[in-house]
Structure 1
């Protein structure tokens, strides 16, 4: 069986940076907290928990914490949360992906200049919630082509369009085209990170050339879900798994070629383990 693993599979720069940041804080010997799961991967979060890292889910929990370090996760947070964190007598380390921080700056500036902010992305994703917080939660968040078609902004307002860093690149272009067709006064900032575009393009290419496709990643990982959507359109036999435990190898006995890709939060050891078992190397 021919097995092709995407070169872009696995940790992206922002995720690796966030995890490295947490490990650096662990080595200092103090209690480490993350504001929400550091990334959307249960295995990584559990490994950090085994090393004593605690996940806090609300700022109210900080009231009882007198010492230690709170790490802001790669998805980033709103300006309001940043200001609230500064009120606590505890060390704050910001591990927000630099590409996400760039969107925060764009949104804050354009909002102050009078633009209506439009975020193309998943409205319940923490990255999008954080971005929205840099324009006082006033942004229009659009996730589908239908929502873009039905959006009716104030014609007197200029629009600044940004995107969640891991959004489907083709869908982003299709939605922007709708705005352009309606002749709105728009400023389009393609804030999908380059790694996401490359990962999605490569995944689609491999899926198109394979009998079956495996997409590995956390079930809450937005970028992995986007990869699954892309691969499913190119290859009917596409499977979404988190780890080797989810893999039914019997399904692959009749396939001559299998492609493998993985989300930006998927550790390399999980990818290698799946690859080895699909090839029957273990």
Structure 2
């Protein structure tokens, strides 16, 4: 039987679990179909599970089709300040399940932009978390994905970070900004759950033959786990669920196989993957 080593920190983080629990609780409270603004988490299997529990993802444009009094859950990634006002003005019942770590960034962006600081966000400009944070400073933030700048760094800046960013990118970017800005407020807002998952993935991928990273293909934190593992272990693979596990990757029985999972991957998916690795 192949030996499987599961990373010490893998799977659901606090913010994602909180959002899922809050959605299920809210649906039971109102006992009717409720909605999440966008997929609650970046995991297709979990989205299907929620649909079976009468919780459906919609886009902002779809809100126009709803009647006042419908229940809409804000997912863990958060949204723009104007989006919450728009939903409330439409008469929707808004349940805000934004991760507290993300809320912390929104508050900082809002406060310090009003105090005259130019907000710089280290993150993916196309990610809903980053777009949401930008919406708390009038969409005026400067955004860099990897510490490269196609803009002039202002003299007075407040720097925040997407919760799932790599620490090395944060350090690299802050060093660059420090060379140019005169006044800097720097808040390392990488989520503690992200940091421990990345460290666990880094540790385990250095000592296994094959590394399996489980999580949604659109999940930012899962993609970063895969990148970390691939750097240490050439035979690293990113799968969404057990159906994508190719047993040809596990080419002999005495392999040591490492497994880690993104913050939006439920335990039951991780267990299915481990079981297949062990018994096939």
Normalised TM-score (structure 1): 0.94
- Which sits farther off after the overlay, 29-38 or 126-135? 29-38
Q: Distance in 1 between matches of 2:151 and 2:199?
A: 28
2:157 matched to 1:159? yes
**Equivalent runs, 1:152-231 vs 2, <5 Å:** 152-155=152-155, 158-182=156-180, 184-231=182-229
1:64 and 2:63 aligned: no
Residues 184 and 233 (structure 1 numbering): CA distance in 2 closer, same or farther, change over 3 Å? farther
In 2, the alpha carbon distance for the partners of 1:90 and 1:30 equals 14
Deviation at 1:182, TM superposition (A): 3.5
Once the two structures are TM-superposed, the CA of residue 199 in structure 1 deviates from its matched residue by 0.4
CA distance in 2, matches of 1:273, 1:76: 30
Counterpart for residue 93 of structure 2: 91
Residue by residue over 1:253-277, the C-alpha shift from the partner in whole angstroms, topping out at 9 and shown as x without a partner, is 3362111100000010010111111
Matching of residues 13-32 of structure 1 within 5 Å: 13-28=14-29, 29-32=31-34
Matched with 1:5 is: 6
Shift of 1:60: 4.9
Can you list the C-alpha shifts for 1:119-149, whole angstroms capped at 9, x where unaligned? 000110000000000000000010023x24x
Question: In terms of mean alpha carbon deviation, does 125-134 or 28-37 score higher?
Answer: 28-37
In the alignment, which of 38, 41, 46 is matched to residue 39 of structure 1?
A: 41
Structure 1 runs of 4+ with >6 Å offset: none
| Pairing partner for 1:122 from 118, 121, 124 | 124
Distance in 2 between the 1:104 and 1:59 partners? 23
The structural deviation recorded for 1:17 is 0.2
Distance of 1:133 and 1:127 partners within structure 2: 10
Shift of 1:8: 1.1
Post-superposition offset of 1:62: 3.8
> Equivalents in 1 of 2:179, 2:198: separation in Å?
26
Cα RMSD over matched residues? 1.4
1:141-160 correspondence runs (5 A): 141-145=143-147, 147-148=148-149, 150-155=150-155, 158-160=156-158
Say how many residue pairs are matched: 277
3-state secondary structure, aligned to 1:27:
helix
TM-score (normalised: structure 2): 0.95
179-188 or 35-44, which deviates more: 179-188
Q: Alpha-carbon deviation of 1:59?
A: 4.4
Structure 2, unaligned stretches of length 5 or more?
Answer: none
- Aligned partners of 1:69 and 1:92 also within 8 Å: yes
Measured in 2, the distance between the counterparts of 1:253 and 1:59 equals 48
Q: CA deviation at 1:210?
A: 1.0
> C-alpha separation between the residues in 1 aligned to 2:255 and 2:35?
46
Q: How far apart, CA to CA, are the structure 2 residues paired with 1:165 and 1:77? A: 14
Aligned to 1:275: 274
1:67 to partner: Cα distance: 3.4
